[in-house]
Amino acid sequence: MEKQTITIYDVAREANVSMATVSRVVNGNPNVKPATRKKVLEVIDRLDYRPNAVARGLASKKTTTVGVIIPDVSNMFFASLARGIDDVATMYKYNIILANSDGNDQKEVNVLNNLLAKQVDGVIFMGHHITDEIRGEFSRSKTPVVLAGSIDPDEQVGSVNIDYTSAAKDAVNKLAKNGNEKIAFVSGALIDPINGQNRLKGYKEALKENHLSYSEGLIFEAEYNFKDGISLVERINNSGATAAYVSDDELAIGILDGLLDKGVKIPEEFEIITSNNSLLTDVARPRLTSITQPLYDLGAVSMRLLTKMMNKEEVEEKTIVLPYGIEEKGSTK
């Protein structure tokens, strides 16, 4: 037998109060007598009444839900950000709808439109780059959007990041100071501004400061995964590089394992610095030296910024840059 849906009307009738009183109890409004509140809560518990979020959203013009678009839910970088988002969302009584976009431009647009159709109050977007099409959807929807770990070069959309240019520069400087003259730059697609503009700029600046020449033959693009790291090893070896700056931890582990399989000694013959300092960097052997990003905080601060935008609070700074460091482990001398 199908379970009957209990409505606010049923609770009001059973508790012998108005529907407005039930609504005040459900929404935590203090203007209800303690005895009345207790009675209504007992009826809610007995009838197993669950407020209809969609109906409440129609009445208040708010659904208290936030859409989070993530390129790869299995990647620890994005998973750590999502944890920070979820904890702050819970604190401010928002629910999360998590949607995987596979880093595919067209799927990102479809996923965004599906979330907007669900009347989400705001969106946190973790994409590899902001296409003109997705930017058009952002501005057309009027729904507040914050980028987490993604760059908007035009700074039209709120975002939370680290200084990727300085971080890459510091990492490459360290590799150069260790005596490496050919340093590979391994990243995701260069069309992504974080890679093609910010990180690559830092890489070039470090080479210049250390009087090293820039070569296209040392620039490698890959998907952010272990297999792509392994498949790059042959080309990296042939380039003559003795070190690599890598923009993703899983990719870095693929390169590390591929080099070890070829008998290359790490760090004596080849050094690696990766970018996210996720748990993977400590699981690897040797452990991977990494730029440290406050991954959880990137997510948490993104969600806090979004709550301000959704509630039309004053936002002093839409582009927030958090601190980073470099943690030296076993993949550098």
What values do phi and psi take at 303, rounded to 5?
-70, -40
Q: What is the pLDDT of residue 249?
A: 96
Give the residue among 162, 117, 158, 163 at the shortest CA–CA distance from 307: 158
Instruction: Tell me the domain boundaries of the chain.
Output: 8-51, 65-162+295-324, 164-293
Q: What is the pLDDT of residue 2?
A: 45
243 close to 41: Cβ distance less than 8 angstroms: no
The CATH fold assigned to 164-293 is: Rossmann fold (3.40.50)
Query: Which residues make Cβ contacts (< 8 Å) with residue 290, sequence separation at least 6?
Result: 249, 273, 274, 275, 276, 277, 281, 326, 327, 329
287 close to 327: Cβ distance less than 8 angstroms: no
Determine if the pTM surpasses 0.85: no
8-51 — its CATH code? 1.10.260.40
| Domain 65-162+295-324 CATH (choose: 3.10.20.30, 3.20.20.70, 3.20.20.140, 3.40.50.2300) | 3.40.50.2300
* pLDDT mean for each 10 residues of the chain (333 residues): 69 91 82 92 86 56 87 86 93 92 88 91 89 88 91 88 97 98 96 94 98 98 95 97 97 98 98 95 97 94 95 89 96 97
197 CB-side CA count, 13 A: 12
Q: What is the pLDDT of residue 152?
A: 86
Same fold, 8-51 and 164-293: no
Residue entry with tokens 């501005």: 139
